[in-house]
Amino acid sequence: MPQFSTFKGINRTNDYAFKRILGSEEGKEALVGFLNAVLKPPPGQELTTVELLDRELDPEYLLNRGARLDVLARTTAGTLLNVEVQVANRYDIDRRTLFYWARLYGSQLNAGQKFIELRKTVTINILGFNWFTSEERYHLTFHIREDQTGKILSDDLEMHFLELEKVKKLKQRPKDALEAWLMYLNNLEGEELEAIAMENPAIRKALTIEEAFWRSERERRLYELREKALRDEIVMLEGARAEGKIEGIAEGKVAGKIEGIAEGKAAMAQEAICKYLEARFGEASLGLQKKVQAISKLESLNQIMNKIYLAGSLDDARAIIEGLPDTKNMSENK
Buried b (16+ CB within 10 A) or exposed e, 53-88: eeeebeeeebeebebebbbbbbbeeebbbbbbbbbb
246 and 186 assigned to the same domain: no
238 and 115 assigned to the same domain: no
Query: Residue 68: inside a domain, yes or no?
Result: yes
Domain range enclosing 290: 221-322
pLDDT value of position 298: 80
187 and 51 assigned to the same domain: yes
Query: Residue 334: inside a domain, yes or no?
Result: no
21 and 78 assigned to the same domain: yes
Other beta carbons within 10 Å of 323: 12
Q: Which of 240, 307, 223, 230 is closest to 65 using CA atoms?
A: 230
129 and 211 assigned to the same domain: yes
Residue 146's Cβ-count burial label (10 Å; 0-12, 13-18, 19+) is exposed
Query: Residue 45: inside a domain, yes or no?
Result: yes
Which residue among 215, 235, 263 closes a domain? 215
Which residue among 180, 215, 250 closes a domain? 215
Q: Is the pTM of this model over 0.85?
A: no
Query: Residue 331: inside a domain, yes or no?
Result: no
Q: How many residues does the chain have?
A: 334
Query: Residue 329: inside a domain, yes or no?
Result: no
- Round the CA-based radius of gyration of the chain to a whole number and report it: 22
176 and 263 assigned to the same domain: no
87 and 156 assigned to the same domain: yes
24 and 160 assigned to the same domain: yes
CA distance 164 to 201: 21
Which residue among 168, 188, 215 closes a domain? 215
211 and 247 assigned to the same domain: no
Collapsing DSSP to helix, strand or coil, 328 comes out as: coil
Q: Residue-wise pLDDT tens for the chain (334 aa)?
A: 455 544 566 889 988 899 999 999 999 999 999 999 999 999 999 999 999 997 655 555 555 555 567 999 999 999 999 999 998 887 889 999 999 999 999 999 988 899 999 999 999 999 999 999 999 999 999 999 999 999 999 999 999 999 999 998 887 789 999 999 999 999 998 889 999 999 999 999 999 999 999 888 888 888 887 887 767 666 666 655 555 554 544 444 444 444 554 566 677 778 878 877 877 777 888 999 899 999 988 888 878 877 876 777 888 889 999 887 655 555 555 4
Query: Residue 328: inside a domain, yes or no?
Result: no
pLDDT value of position 33: 98
Query: Residue 327: inside a domain, yes or no?
Result: no
CA distance 306 to 265: 15
Residue 177 contacts residue 33 (beta carbons within 8 Å): yes
Strand 51-52 and strand 80-86: the pairing is: unpaired
199 and 232 assigned to the same domain: no
The number of distinct structural domains making up the chain is: 2
Beta bridge partners of 139: 162
CA distance 96 to 104: 12
Collapsing DSSP to helix, strand or coil, 155 comes out as: strand
273 and 188 assigned to the same domain: no
Phi, psi (deg, nearest 5) at residue 114: -100, 155
Quick one: CA dihedral 180, 87, 73, 59, positive or negative? negative
Query: Residue 160: inside a domain, yes or no?
Result: yes
pLDDT value of position 267: 79
pLDDT value of position 312: 74
228 and 209 assigned to the same domain: no
